[in-house]
Structure 1
């Protein structure tokens, strides 16, 4: 009889990779599939909706005229406005139609006519929202769905790391390593399936890890707090880390209009770009501005400005001047979704998510093929 094969560290990693993959396969498939679709959420919705453009006739109405329009007033409480630089693009008004709404409903407004372009209620909106719920909570109750997705994300990160280890051959030589970079399309289907899992998984593993590290911020509060501590700045919060605003130090008797506040913001942030403003309320008498330059490469490179209703500048944050840790913390969401560098990064993330979606399928097929091979071997030994 031959010597029994030793069970080494590589065998252990292989077993961990196999069984974790089989246990979490369905959940990972659903999370990755929905994530793949959500990568181009805006573009997909745009295909099924009429392009919201306005005809530039005459001059734009003043902001005061727009916000005091009876139709807008009847809709609810206006909380924020986005003003694009494109003359044919509508303004975006965020309106809380119900005080229970967290963010409100976004309406497109024709700045030339004050016409309210109501959001289209289409089937694609419901479909994309179901994909969002699938991705975040598996369409379950948040209490249960969120931790399940979080645990599956941790497992996927372990699979990515163990997959990288298993990608390298036992004897590392350039000839054997080089074979792992390509898919042998002229081989039989089992070999092609193996290469699809092995090679494509290797190419996508870095992005899978990035998606996992950032994605866990939505699943576990403790993880988010820990990451904030490591980074030295708060994730999903007051990333500036500045002191609280002493509202009593400002002149509450003096008050500027929204148009004056917008003019002051554009003076302080003196460049062409999309300007968004969150309006003050009884509890917070502050205009909060965000501006993104038209020539910016990144969707997160927004400068921020706070102006008290008295007209005094409360704070000014220039993105380029922020320390690296704050820049990264402010980019957690776009890093996770792939929107950080616009369409270019979206395509890279889309391909990585597509590969991630295929991995549970190709991995399961590899396992089934191995079971069939073992079963065939046992039968041949039994009949020998």
Structure 2
């Protein structure tokens, strides 16, 4: 089973924290859709159509800047080319694009999961993030979404912002929970160097919050959501039982996925499952419209040792973790003595469970990135 990721590059404006490829001009939307359909058709009768597609994810950018008719034409092309056994088709949307008619059109097109980029209801935080929507629009769109035919939807929220108090975060969570979402993605603000936010931090104009503050935010998110039956199943993802994201879970489980559109990444196991290839389309809309997608950009061949390291890092970010047996059978990987000692210490400090299945506890997930960095650097036995 594989997944398709469709990168829609259009945005109304640049969010201060975003480092995904996007353009703010929108005159070429139909040209882009036409070229995307050509790229989809180019995959006919290739290795990418040998296994059924179980999930499609429209990301970006802002996919909700496409019309329902354009989304329909893209999905029709996918059904023409790929074998499908679809469990989930997600489309990211911004509150200022949502109307009852639009949601109805997307549902008719086949979209069955909406991903709503709320981030916050606080006007000052929305201004800081340079979001295109207002808190009023965010409330209105959630009302429409709750009342729509979408039974599965997810809401994005960002914590760890400069100046964001626990009270502000709690108000945001309380507001979201009024709408009974089956899934929430809560991300700690990441400061990427090339973004506007990254440049302001470098110049000393913005000071990121202390680690202890971000840790308190994390605890509030986990506690508040779990009280509503929305459990953490990955560092940044929370769901009611049975509403976990199929597409994102396939990334963490190291399954094949094909990226389409400018800036989209792909990952595919080679025959025999002893190596894999990762590549991306160049992030340049004009080049894409001229057929630049025909060439893989920066293809990277990954051997089993690299893949084992990657699977370890992906798997331990999830609540269920992964088994030693899977690492041994699929990646020929076994923990060395230093790593086993380190895992034992994590267990003693109640940050991990380390039987046949290894997984991080809530306290471990809070510092997952540093734990994973420690683990993968312990490649030799003293």
Q: Which has the larger radius of gyration?
A: 1
TM-score normalized by the length of structure 1: 0.25
- Structure with the bigger RCO (C-alpha within 8 Å, sep 6+) is 1
Higher-strand-fraction structure: 2
TM-score normalized by the length of structure 2: 0.25
